[in-house]
Amino acid sequence: MGVVNVTPDSFSDGGRWFEPDAAVAHGLRLLAEGADVLDVGGESTRPGSQRVAVDEERRRVLPVVRELVAAGAVVSVDTTRAAVARDAVAAGAHLVNDVSGGLADPAMADVVAQTGVAYVAMHWRGHADVMDSLTHYDDVVADVRDELAGRLAALEAAGIRREQVVLDPGLGFAKAGRDNWPLLAHLDALQELGRPVLVGSSRKRFLGHLLAGPDGEPAAPTARDRATAAISALSALGGAWCVRVHDVAGSADAVRVAAAWSAARGDRTDAGRSATQDGEHRA
């Protein structure tokens, strides 16, 4: 899944693809580099960021969704708002990627149930302005799994079919840096919930700290792409269904390596299988 942020302020690429034409051209480049899905978002979730108005979010994402769909892409809309999700699906989006897992907007579940699209439910505890104060866990892997299990049950109770849902541990969202590694190392715990798992580690703060120089200064966001690709390979081997990344070329190679590796080991795995081949995105 390649990231197309139509925002002036996302933490790693804010402003670069803010004009619709630039965003579409970027999306097409990511497709050529091997993306199976393009994730179009109009609201930054960087720590501390403020919300954008719903009309502005619509104005940013809808033309880009429309054009990328017309170009034949499988498109996901990255939004926590039911109204934006509904309009994006009407514009042709195939997936709704909701970093709040339905918690930010009580109307989201209805839109997903009614449209029948695939739905990424990410682990979330609060908006970007407060999430860094919501990082207490007794056991981060068990707590995130249990909170996602609760979400899955609530989404089903709201009329969404289980088969529509993809789960995501929400790396960097209400997580201290150290919390992200056990979640990655124990993707199997999330898979116990019986749904495909999406991993979004790309360029995140915890990688900046991992790759800090001798002066302790975190590596810059674009200097985190090789580490992101390493996580893509390991996530694919760990059974992830999808990795959401800014630099598609590196992760597409990494996922191919993982697929060849597990094939040689004789695993039955989904690593390297295209999301567009199996129709899972249409659930």
Active site residues: 204, 244
At its nearest, how many Å lie between ligand PMM and the CB of residue 68? 16
Q: What is the distance between the alpha carbons of residues 141 and 143, in angstroms, rounded to a whole number?
A: 6
Q: What is the distance between the alpha carbons of residues 196 and 98, in angstroms, rounded to a whole number?
A: 15
Using CB under 6 A as the binding rule, whether residue 97 contacts ligand PMM is answered as: yes
Residue (62 or 122) nearer to ligand PMM, CB: 122
Using CB under 6 A as the binding rule, whether residue 100 contacts ligand PMM is answered as: no
Alpha carbon distances (Å) from 47 to 3, 117, 128: 18, 28, 5
Count of residues interacting with ligand PMM (CB under 6 A): 20
Query: Tokens 């800090």 sit at which residue?
Result: 212
Site for ligand PMM in 178-237 (CB under 6 A): 198, 200
Among 12, 100, 180, 251, binds ligand PMM (CB under 6 A): 12
Q: What is the distance between the alpha carbons of residues 165 and 196, in angstroms, rounded to a whole number?
A: 8
Using CB under 6 A as the binding rule, whether residue 3 contacts ligand PMM is answered as: yes
Closest to 109 (Cα-Cα) out of 133, 82, 149, 148: 82
At its nearest, how many Å lie between ligand PMM and the CB of residue 277? 21
Q: What is the distance between the alpha carbons of residues 68 and 31, in angstroms, rounded to a whole number?
A: 10
Q: What is the distance between the alpha carbons of residues 192 and 84, in angstroms, rounded to a whole number?
A: 31
* 3-class DSSP state of 207: helix
Residue (76 or 262) nearer to ligand PMM, CB: 76
At its nearest, how many Å lie between ligand PMM and the CB of residue 204? 7
Among 168, 179, 225, 280, binds ligand PMM (CB under 6 A): 168
Residue (86 or 244) nearer to ligand PMM, CB: 244
Residue (24 or 207) nearer to ligand PMM, CB: 207
Using CB under 6 A as the binding rule, whether residue 45 contacts ligand PMM is answered as: yes
Sign of the dihedral through C-alpha 55, 58, 60, 63: negative
Extract the tokens encoding 42: 């109009």
* 3-class DSSP state of 142: helix
Binding span for ligand PMM by CB under 6 A among 39-47, 58-66, 82-90, 225-233: 39-47
Q: What is the distance between the alpha carbons of residues 145 and 169, in angstroms, rounded to a whole number?
A: 8
Residue (11 or 17) nearer to ligand PMM, CB: 11
Among 88, 244, 258, 270, binds ligand PMM (CB under 6 A): 244
Using CB under 6 A as the binding rule, whether residue 118 contacts ligand PMM is answered as: no
Using CB under 6 A as the binding rule, whether residue 11 contacts ligand PMM is answered as: yes
277 alpha carbon, distance to own chain's centre: 19
Among 65, 84, 93, 171, binds ligand PMM (CB under 6 A): 171
Residue nearest to ligand PMM (CB): 200
At its nearest, how many Å lie between ligand PMM and the CB of residue 180? 10
C-alpha torsion 257→281→47→123, nearest 10: -100
